[in-house]
Amino acid sequence: MTEKIDFAARKEFIKLLEGHDVTKCFQCGTCTACCVVARFAGNYNPRMIILKALRGSTDVFDDERLWLCGSCHKCSERCPEKVDPAEVLRKIREEALRRGTIPQAICSKVELILKTGFSLEGSGSDILRKRVGLQPLSVIDTGEISKIARLAGLNLPLREEKK
């Protein structure tokens, strides 16, 4: 079955991805072939995400797989057409954020960083650290982190900033 191209949406994508000529993508698949995430997450495929943009498929913004990209830029170094897929994906994620389609798992992670300054739950880690003779982890002042998150437009409950 041939998938229809939404030319108006495609035009919007090209505008959104200004500075990265996705129209040069000839779907060689090099980005997916060299992607470490794609190697382990079988359903992750940067080439397909770019194809969706080229077809003007706005459902790309709802695709949680967008957020699997580790921004390692390996694909950008190898893309023969200098499309810079890593940056294209970042711009698509930014637009997803503006549209409020950030996945719950990412929201929880950001909330944890805002609350603790750490990206992983550290429950029990101080006990373990003490057991092996290490100092407890330092308490992070999250005021600056909240400020950055607000400037980045994260639509999440933020901690009260310290006066």
* Cβ atoms of residues 35 and 44 within 8 Å: yes
Tell me which DSSP letter residue 160 carries: P
* Cβ atoms of residues 112 and 118 within 8 Å: yes
118 backbone φψ class: left, alpha, beta (φ>0; ψ -120 to 50):
beta
Looking at the Cβ atoms of 23 and 116, the one nearer to ligand SF4 is: 23
Residues 14 and 25: their CA atoms lie apart, in Å, by 12
**The two three-digit tokens of residue 62, written as one number:** 């709802």
Looking at the Cβ atoms of 41 and 152, the one nearer to ligand SF4 is: 41
Looking at the Cβ atoms of 31 and 149, the one nearer to ligand SF4 is: 31
Smallest distance from ligand SF4 to CB 52, Å: 12
Looking at the Cβ atoms of 53 and 114, the one nearer to ligand SF4 is: 53
Smallest distance from ligand SF4 to CB 71, Å: 5
The residues of the shown chain that bind ligand SF4, judged by CB under 6 A, are 25-31, 35-37, 46-47, 50, 69-75, 79-81, 83, 85-86, 89
Smallest distance from ligand SF4 to CB 5, Å: 17
In the chain, the largest separation of any two C-alpha atoms, in whole Å, equals 63
